[in-house]
Chain A
Amino acid sequence: MFALSPSQEIVWLHEQMLPGSRAYNFTAVLDLWGALDRDALHAGLAAVLDHHPGLRLELVPSAEGLPGQRVAEGCQPELRHSDFAAEADPEAVFRQLLAAEAEEPLDTERAPLLRWHLVKLAEDHHRLVHVEHHLVHDGHSFAILLRDLFTVYRARVLGESYELATAPSYEDHARSAAGVSRDRALDFWTKELTDAPREVTLPGLARPGTERRHRGGQLRQAIGADLAGRLRERSKTDGHTPFSTLLALLAELLRRHSGHRELVVGTAVGNRPEGFEGTVGMFVNTVPLRLRLDPAAPGTEAVDEVTDVLMRALPYQDLPVQELTRRLGLHTSGADNPLWNVMFSAHDAALPDVQAPGLEVSLYEGFNTGTTRFDLDLVLLPDDRRVVGEKHGAAGMTLVWDYDADLFRESEAVLLSERLLELLRCYLDQPQAPIAELAPAPEAEPAAGPTAEETAAAAPLLDPAAAHDPTALALLAGTERISYGELDRRVTELAERLRAAGVTPGQPVAAVLPRGADSVVALLACLRHGAVYAPLSTEDPAARLGLLLERLSPALVLATRQSALALPAEGVTPALLDGPAFPKAEPTAVLDGAAYLIHTSGSTGVPKPVRVGRAALAGYVAAIAARYGLTSADRVLLFARPSFDVALEEVLPALAAGAALVVPQREVPTGPELVAVLAARGVTVANLPTSYLLAVREDLREALRDGRWTPRLLVLGGERLPARALADLTGATTVLNAYGVTEATVTSTVYEVTAADVAEDGEIPLGTELDGVRMHVLDDMLRPLPAGCVGELVVGGTMVADGYLGLPEPTAARFVTVPALGGARVYRTGDRGYRDLDGRLRFLGRADNQVKLRGHRIELEEIEAAASAELGGRSCAVVLHTDPRTGPRLLGFLEGADRPDQAALHEALARRLPGGLVPASWTAVAAMPTLPGGKPDRAALTRLADRAGDTTAEEPAAPSAFADPGQELIAAAWREVLGHDRFTADSHFFEVGGHSLLAAQLAAYLEPHLGSRPPLRTLFRHAVLADQARALAGGTK
């Protein structure tokens, strides 16, 4: 008995993880045309089995975990027979048989690990189905097998003698492979893969969050002879192979669909040592190829680069991949390869030129086994159909796409394959063109902007107070009840006071007012008078308000006696709505055409005022009123603070439609308080920030269920919408997800959430554009990408803001004209996303560290800067952490041993920052995890926060502190296989030194204690000690 070779080890481990997987069944079909000599065929099969010990290997279970293997003697070929000649549709019956054969497992403990099935389709047409386990198979070996099979066949038919070439045994290889030092290769790969991305995700095509069952789908893509010829020609001219050319184009394809320039793709390589050329056995290894794509470079350079990577890897390609993952400390969860999830390999083992008398033989290989190991596994076959023997005419090529069917639908696999082919065609047409320019996205229709007439007609949209029945209800706030008539009177009065104070149209007027009738009147009066409405938060610290006012330099600062208390004590003379005559307006710039100025947070730490024009606002109001279907029968909740632009979305379209606003009296109502207002005031349309919804959803759900509240629309936005939180809501009302940025007038896209979205529990789409808005997905070269591709979301159309007031640089950076969009002016959101194949936009995340929390766009650096200043320069980092129990919150980390004085720090920061920006808690870390550039590693900190949330015990428990005999047992097993005891009940096996082979040992160690060997799968699924103990020893039978 001898050990498995490293290549076999992987195969075995994989099968333990996915019992029942047929991913390692190799199936091929030989078409045999002509008069078949069955005896000769049988003799041939018997002879190859007899001649090649590598075909007679079988596994021997062992007590140490990993099995051994041995060569069985006296093996007989397993040849089955079927006759479909009399069938009405022999091909159909054959397809069934083939599927069944591919699916039927091979017993790895009984040689031979292969079997044949001879099927008669007609008198002169047979098919030989060959099913072989990968433990004994590779492409080259298969060619040897075919060669020998037909050598014997031919000799038998012709009555000649034959001799088969001899070769060293696989056992020799397996034994010698065990002793090789791989340090140099390990060093090479470790360096090569430093900081490499682990996974290529194609969110625009792959269904997110699906459980991976390794169900495979397959697509065979023909590359026509003509195109294949050009590919061969081009590759040859440039000194490449068709494989490396296609690999470069695949990398570009993946860049477009993942949004990342850098990726790792695995490829299968032969690692047959010298001297073993004639040996039958498994000599395949897979290696990672780290590809970095410069999308601006000409296509030919990209291919050069890829060839280079392949060449560099060549000397080190023998390194068994599991050794590499062990060295890199990566754990494999289940069967997933931790280094890559996309494979691309070329099958180019030359087939023997066999001549079987009276037979024409051709080969069809690479069948769908129904399972797959990777998300995408492409194989390039150098021919459309492999002819064993004489070849006729120019050959095409075949790309076999095996894809994870849980991840991709067939249509998506087809789309990807078509896009690859399109890239190939374009590349061959223009090999010198920048690779990013190949196969450009079809041009999007520009957004229909309003005409001059429409803009004129839109004027009442910005002055709705006088546009409705004066007795109709306009606003309900606590005990206040304001009709349109009363509203109009108050707007008229305030507009007159503005005029009297000397405010001229176009001048900014700041409003420091709480949510309520006053803020609505101030907005409408500014719009009527033509002043530029600039709301500021009454909740901001006075110093911040002072700074913002200084930059805005408004003609007047509107406030009430109460809200004026928020203003700095000096330097600002407010115009009191409830006070005597206004002070004289300050002389200030006139901003032509502007409607309002609203601040957004900026990376410099000071928020940026966004200037939005009247035409944009009018178009927006009309678009929202239409999209939400608002009518005078609606009662619309006014929830947002006036300084937050969503307030405009609540107020203006509602009043334009003649609806009534309902203002809750609590700044932030509790769930029961909110529900009470919604129900008692009969609110029909409520727009809530997502994070707030999360806090109050149970109360909303209850009110919807018992019929207390029967809204028409629930609009959510401001942040990512977790589908699960919407359970039971979609059934009771229409739920809309609204997405937008202040820089493009509040909301750009809207999506109606369906029950199916909630059931799928995936990312809720952003939806489609409002009238007048045109969204684009651009790559980092500002080139538009087609549906399914990932890039930055940018907003175009008529509602893009004018820019940041007084900040030309940030304005130029974010508001850009895009040549590839015909010079359209757009706003770059910094959000990553894509348009799905149904045309809906989808959000993936922030491109930078700007995060959204409770509707605020927050620059984490801004908070860090403030905290660091407060702590005298101590290094600190802030992450946005989402705990499923508490929802998203900001968590701070400080370097050093001193525990921070939470309360003091909180208080100090509250003076510097608006409330939403003060982290919920601070944790001291001994050393701040950092990225290569020295910036804090937020991903590591988030994991830290995750773990802190998972366990209540702050300090690691003493090694002996295991809760019960079950944990004690598992701990003893871990100690045994890991060789140390630096773990606790909360430790993760693969984070304290475990890896797949040790897991196999663990299973073996546990067998006598548990009575049966635990499946490896269970150990992988439950990698945390306490969890493992529960699953194994806890009697979960």
Chain B
Amino acid sequence: MTAPSAVLEDGHRELVDAFESFIRRELVPLAAELPETADQVPGDLRRYVRKRSAALGFYAGDYPEELGGSDMPFTAVVLLHHAAGRSGCVLAPYALAGSDGPSPLLRNGTPEQVERHLVPLVRGEQTRCLALTEPHAGSDAFRLTTTAVLDGDRWVLNGRKTFVSNAEHAGIALVIAATDLGDGAGPTSGATAFVLPMDQPGLRIGQRYEGMSGEPLFELLLDGVTVGQEAVIGGEEGIGAATALAIDSLSRGRLVVAAMCNGIAEYALRAGVEYAKERRAFGRVIGEYQHVQEHLVTTRAEVESSKLLTLACARLVDEGTESPENAALAKLTASETAVRAVDRSLQVHGATGWVRGHPLEFLYRYVRMTTIIEGTSEVQKVIIARSMGLN
């Protein structure tokens, strides 16, 4: 199969080859340590993969060298995420910085915060979690009830965050809390981002939620957490600026998810095609039946389009001309495509693909989160609609 998207991959071939070789030579063998039915990767292995990948220059590659990154263009990062998804290796995602890696929020931190918190994240030495969602604030993320109140020169935080991923492994939590901006709009007039060490007194993990697959989510309880000014991301200027900061960084996060989705879709497609060429029914390989072809051909068309869209958006990011609705288009397309691609490939596999331990069985559950995280598909559509002047 030749892919039209190759046009946009030029210039990064060597990097992607090196990354794929790393996956093949080091991560696939290490994945042998995980039972086929295991959804969760032990912390020590995640840590090892992250640090190893950072040492090889893949992890958080788009961060500047002085922060421990490799200064690579964002397009390259997108291609790596794509390769990770395409590899089908459960450890590959941990080799790249995702939602537990260096946060764009911290790039706006004070020099001390960058040094103390961001650099270790870029180097893969530690991870973080982001506590934004609340029981009553999901898509509507900034309707916060968690508050940060200034008491003298100390901030006191109270509230309940939920669906926080990576809370059990993270070294720091980025907590978004409502603050009184003194503009008369009340105690929740603005949102401020705080960086807290996970062992901060008053901060603790509450309920644990097992998901359909992969990582569990956690409740994060803040009970009179008292911190100084140094915990406010961006310092003085960061007060009330969380919404702006978050929106600023949305595109990259969404495109990374999109790239991973495209990779997964491609993996599912390949698995389906291979299986269809081997599995026989009624005296023929099933790939000869049009209904089976339908699944695979449709997927192919969707995957190729989605990939082109994602790569084009990544290039816009590198050129500094991205706009939120483009990333929304890409994320929407890629995640929906991936969910369908896995579903169809599983269908082509029949019971073989449904059995616990089969990669498609796992992916079927795993890929499902992609239309929810980083903004649900509906939310992406809202953004797109807005860009078309529809509301």
Contacts and interface: CB of A to CB of B under 8 A. Distances in A.
Contacts of A681: 44, 48
A778 interface: no
A663 to B, nearest CB: 9
Given A680-B49, A681-B44, A708-B52, A478 B33 contact: yes
A481 B27 CA distance: 20
A251 to B, nearest CB: 58
Contacts of B184: none
Name which of B25, B28, B32, B45 has the most chain A CB atoms within 10 A of its CB: B32
Contacts of B352: none
B152 interface: no
Which of B25, B28, B30, B52 is most buried by chain A, counting CB atoms within 10 A of its CB?
A: B30
A677 B38 contact: no
Interface in B25-80: 25-30, 32-35, 38, 40-42, 44-45, 48-49, 52
B44 A665 contact: no
A666 B38 contact: no
A665 B29 contact: no
A676 B41 CA distance: 14
Interface stretch (A117-125, A667-675, A917-925): A667-675
A476 B42 CA distance: 10
A677 B38 CA distance: 17
B30 A676 contact: yes
B40 A479 contact: yes
Contacts of A675: 29
Contacts of B42: 478-479, 481
Interface string A825-850: 00000000000000000000000000
Given A478-B38, A676-B26, A708-B52, A669 B32 contact: yes
Given A481-B42, A672-B29, A675-B29, A680 B35 contact: no
A549 to B, nearest CB: 29
A669 B35 CA distance: 14
A478 B35 contact: yes
Nearest to B46: A680
Given A478-B38, A708-B52, A676 B44 contact: no
Interface in A664-694: 664-666, 669-670, 672-673, 675-677, 679-681
Contact of A665 (B25, B26, B33): B33
B38 A680 contact: no
A672 B29 CA distance: 6
- Residue among B29, B30, B40 with the highest chain A CB neighbour number at 10 A: B29
A666 B40 CA distance: 18
Contacts of A476: 44
Contact of A676 (B32, B35, B38, B40): B32
A672 B52 CA distance: 15
A677 B49 CA distance: 11
A674 to B, nearest CB: 8
A680 B34 contact: no
Interface in A476-518: 476, 478-479, 481
Nearest to A473: B44
B31 to A, nearest CB: 8
A673 B29 contact: yes
B224 to A, nearest CB: 29
Interface residues of B, number: 19
Given A479-B35, A666-B32, A679 B48 contact: yes
Q: How large is the interface on A (under 10, 10 to 19, 20 to 34, 35 or more residues)?
A: 10 to 19
Contacts of B25: 672
A669 B52 CA distance: 21
A478 B52 CA distance: 19
A700 to B, nearest CB: 13
B34 A478 contact: yes
Interface in B181-203: none
Nearest to A674: B29
A673 B45 CA distance: 13
B207 to A, nearest CB: 22
A664 B52 CA distance: 19
Contacts of B29: 669-670, 672-673, 675-676
Contacts of B27: 676
Nearest to B49: A680
A683 B150 CA distance: 49
A106 to B, nearest CB: 65
Given A476-B44, A479-B40, A676-B26, A665 B35 contact: yes
Which of the listed residues B33, B44, B49 has the most CB atoms from chain A within 10 Å of its own CB? B33
Contacts of B38: 478-479
B219 to A, nearest CB: 24
A698 to B, nearest CB: 12
A681 to B, nearest CB: 7
Interface string A35-56: 0000000000000000000000
A708 B56 CA distance: 11
Contacts of B30: 673, 676-677, 680
Contacts of B33: 478, 664-665, 673, 676-677, 680
B52 A673 contact: no
A680 B26 CA distance: 10
B34 A479 contact: yes
A481 B42 CA distance: 9
Interface in B264-315: none
B381 to A, nearest CB: 38
Nearest to A666: B32
Given A479-B40, A670-B29, A672-B29, A665 B48 contact: no
A365 B230 CA distance: 96
A677 B28 CA distance: 11
A670 B24 CA distance: 13
Nearest to A672: B29
Nearest to B42: A479
Contacts of A680: 30, 33, 44-45, 48-49
A281 to B, nearest CB: 73
Nearest to B25: A672
A479 B26 CA distance: 18
Contacts of B44: 476, 680-681
Nearest to A663: B33
Contacts of B34: 478-479, 665
Nearest to B31: A676
A605 to B, nearest CB: 35
Contacts of A666: 32
Nearest to A670: B29
A665 B32 contact: yes
Interface string B1-34: 0000000000000000000000001111110111
Contact of A672 (B26, B41, B45, B48): B26
Interface string B306-336: 0000000000000000000000000000000
Nearest to B38: A479
B48 A673 contact: no
Nearest to B52: A708
Contacts of A481: 42
A254 B45 CA distance: 59
A478 B90 CA distance: 14
A673 B27 CA distance: 9
Given A479-B42, A679-B48, A680-B48, A673 B35 contact: no
Contacts of B41: 479
Give 5 nearest A-B pairs by CB, closest first.
A676-B30, A672-B29, A680-B48, A673-B29, A676-B29
Given A481-B42, A680-B33, A681-B48, 12 more contacts: A478-B33, A478-B38, A479-B34, A479-B41, A665-B33, A665-B34, A669-B29, A672-B26, A673-B33, A676-B27, A677-B33, A680-B30
24 contacts: A476-B44, A478-B33, A478-B34, A478-B38, A479-B35, A479-B42, A664-B32, A664-B33, A665-B32, A665-B34, A665-B35, A669-B32, A670-B29, A670-B32, A673-B30, A673-B33, A676-B26, A676-B29, A676-B32, A677-B33, A679-B48, A680-B30, A680-B49, A708-B52
Interface of B: 25-30, 32-35, 38, 40-42, 44-45, 48-49, 52
